[in-house]
Amino acid sequence: MKNIGIWIDKEKAHIIHVKDDGEDMTTIQSNIENFRIHGGSGTRLKGGPQDVVQDSRYLEREKNQFRVYFSELVPYIKDADKVAIFGPAEAGEKFNKELQENYKDIFNKVEGVFRADSMTDNQTKALVRDYFKKYKRDTI
């Protein structure tokens, strides 16, 4: 049985293949830009010039960068029997939604999306290993 856990955030994803003799971990960098939207008043005087910020342009660009990032992860997990997604913030939920919309065969293998803070590589491996160990014990 091929169990894969993914710890994902906006910067990188750790893909952990759980095996009987240990775990293999692959790290994929996202290349998603950190957008800092500036705007507001250009002067301290009331009624002075205003900068118009086009949030939609930045958000659409970020959405496209997430889509590319997620498509880079799919080949690593397409052969999995079970997939568990971990991570802080909303990156895991966005990845799950992308799988649901565009990769239904992989989405059907997702066991769940779980919140997990940033951690070291060894802690990440242990989290995924323990999750699948518990899952295996609960299903027997």
Structurally, the chain folds into a number of domains equal to 1
| 120: containing domain | 3-34+53-139
Domain assignment present for 114: yes
At 21 the pLDDT is 86
What is the rounded distance in angstroms from the CA atom of residue 68 to the CA atom of residue 71? 5
Strands across the sheet with 12-19, in order?
Answer: 22-29, 12-19, 3-8, 82-87, 110-115
Q: What rounded mean pLDDT belongs to the chain?
A: 86
DSSP bridge pairs for 23: 18
Domain assignment present for 72: yes
At 139 the pLDDT is 52
Residues 112 and 70: beta-carbon distance below 8 Å: no
Domain assignment present for 119: yes
Domain assignment present for 21: yes
* pLDDT tens-digit series, residues 26-59: 999 998 888 766 555 555 656 655 555 667 888 8
